Amino acid sequence: MNFVEPIRDPGKIEDMKRLLLQQSKRNYFLFVMGINTGLRISDLLPLQVRDVKGKSHLLINEKKTKKRKKFKLNAGLREEISRYVTGKDADEYLFASTKRPQPITRTRSYQIINGTAAKLGLTEIGCHTMRKTFGYFFYKRTRDIATLQMIFNHSHPQITLRYIGINQDLMDEAVDRFSL
């Protein structure tokens, strides 16, 4: 498994959204949902319209931890959901495959995200990039590592800081200021 980074530049996030929307509404919505919830790709892909339509919270059983999770859907994401699910049946997958009656695979979602990022010159990008991007910006805006640690279900704040790339940012900044 490759190590991936968050997307730290808000402009690049907007560029990703624009390129993904040019590909398809599904690809765009996958990215938007991922960066606004911080859910693992294994928890995003099986979601159906009924799981999100008209809801204020997302209720899932996390595939990795087997724990029940209740996550608030922010107002902006609820608007995106409302637009995206219009005309869809309740039992449709949000990220349906065009080739079979199932959601896209983890491999296909990686190809979508990584391939689009490559067009923008971004490297070290994968499915976990969406989760890490959520965490990175949540922390940058709130400085609330305890809440982010709970959202990610990490056992220690240092794990969360390392996971979202803050430790690397701090080391980079320290070295930039250091000179002999």
- Measuring CA to CA, which residue among 151, 156, 120, 123 is closest to residue 136? 151
- Our answer to whether residue 163 is catalytic in this structure is yes
Cα-to-chain-centroid distance, residue 28? 11
Catalytic residue among 26, 93, 131, 136: 131
The H-or-E segment that residue 82 falls in is helix 75-85
Catalytic residue among 64, 68, 70, 99: 64
How many Å apart are CA 153 and CA 160, to the nearest integer? 9
Q: Which residue has the tokens 């859907």?
A: 73
Q: Which amino acid is at 31?
A: F
3-state secondary structure of 60: strand
- Our answer to whether residue 156 is catalytic in this structure is no
Q: How many CA atoms lie within 13 A of 155 on its CB side?
A: 1
3-state secondary structure of 98: coil
Catalytic residue among 26, 28, 110, 128: 128
CA distances from 6 to 17, 86, 130, 142 (A): 15, 30, 7, 17
Catalytic residue among 40, 84, 132, 136: 40
- Our answer to whether residue 162 is catalytic in this structure is no
Q: Which residue has the tokens 């608007």?
A: 79
Catalytic residue among 28, 136, 139, 163: 163
Catalytic residues: 40, 64, 128, 131, 154, 163
